[in-house]
Chains A and B, each alone.
Chain A
Amino acid sequence: NAGVTQTPKFRVLKTGQSMTLLCAQDMNHEYMYWYRQDPGMGLRLIHYSVGEGTTAKGEVPDGYNVSRLKKQNFLLGLESAAPSQTSVYFCASSRTASDEAFFGQGTRLTVV
């Protein structure tokens, strides 16, 4: 079972470059989320989506944009990468707002 799949797994960017992280889920979940995880901290919510065509800001949305054109995909974009965006990014999905979330394997992003 694929579950939640993130691409790429690793990426190094130069300051000012842009990139898109792709998250795909095959569980027909309505809710999808992007988190970042920094050393010694829990996960912080960047953006989330409660269904196809919808997005909403989380706790730390600045510098990121998202799109959910298809139910199974949730894209996270960095328009102009900054060193402060060096982090591990996790995508997750859940069937409802109360259900447990299933996480992807993470993307380790380094901005130099």
Chain B
Amino acid sequence: ELKVEQNPLFLSMQEGKNYTIYCNYSTTSDRLYWYRQDPGKSLESLFVLLSNGAVKQEGRLMASLDTKARLSTLHITAAVHDLSATYFCAVSPAGSARQLTFGSGTQLTVLP
């Protein structure tokens, strides 16, 4: 059974600071996804990481994937209030016909 663990589950940070969210998973996979969810809203796709060593950046967010370590990171640079949301990683096992397993989410609050 694939397990996906995110940490931290809750994160409060000051504006302007940097931080990293971690996503560990338990079985072989070469596909990892990051999503953002605002309270009461749907999920918005942030990044799709499809190979070992993949790095993608959008604005103040940068995601990377290390399939050997079964680890993805979402790095936040110089946080701003608009980044406050819940961030989910999701993993699909290698060879799967598409059964994403989601982490529990990291609830990020950026304080002024």
Q: Indicate which residue in B33, B44, B50, B99 contacts A45 across the interface (CB closer than 8 Å).
A: B99
Interface size on B, residues (CB 8 A): 24
A9 to chain B, nearest CB (A): 11
Segment at the B interface, from A13-21, A64-72, A76-84, A94-102:
A94-102
A100 touches B33 (CB 8 A): yes
Please indicate the chain B residues that have their CB under 8 angstroms from the CB of A58 in the complex. 99
B9 to chain A, nearest CB (A): 8
Segment at the A interface, from B14-22, B61-69, B76-84, B102-110:
B102-110
Interface size on A, residues (CB 8 A): 26
B41 touches A99 (CB 8 A): no
Q: A42-B4, A42-B88, A99-B48 are in contact. Are A105 and B41 (CB under 8 A)?
A: yes
Q: A45-B99, A58-B99, A100-B33 are in contact. Are A106 and B45 (CB under 8 A)?
A: no
Q: A42-B4, A42-B90, A42-B105 are in contact. Are A101 and B100 (CB under 8 A)?
A: yes
Query: Total contacts A to B, CB within 8 angstroms?
Result: 59
A44 touches B43 (CB 8 A): no
Chain B contact residues: over half helix, strand or loop, or mixed? strand
Please tell me if A74 contacts chain B, counting CB pairs below 8 Å. no
CB nearest to A58 among chain B residues = B99
A40 touches B98 (CB 8 A): no
A98 touches B42 (CB 8 A): no
Smallest CB-CB A-B distances: 4 pairs? A42-B102, A100-B45, A97-B98, A103-B43
User: Which residue numbers of B lie inside 8 Å of A, CB to CB?
Assistant: 4, 31, 33, 35, 41-45, 48, 50, 88, 90, 92, 96-105
Listed A/B pairs (18) with beta-carbon separation below 8 Å: A41-B105, A42-B4, A42-B90, A42-B104, A43-B88, A43-B102, A44-B102, A45-B101, A48-B99, A56-B97, A97-B96, A97-B97, A99-B48, A100-B33, A100-B45, A100-B48, A101-B100, A103-B43
User: Which residue numbers of A lie inside 8 Å of B, CB to CB?
Assistant: 31, 33, 40-45, 48, 50, 56, 58-59, 90, 92, 94, 97-106
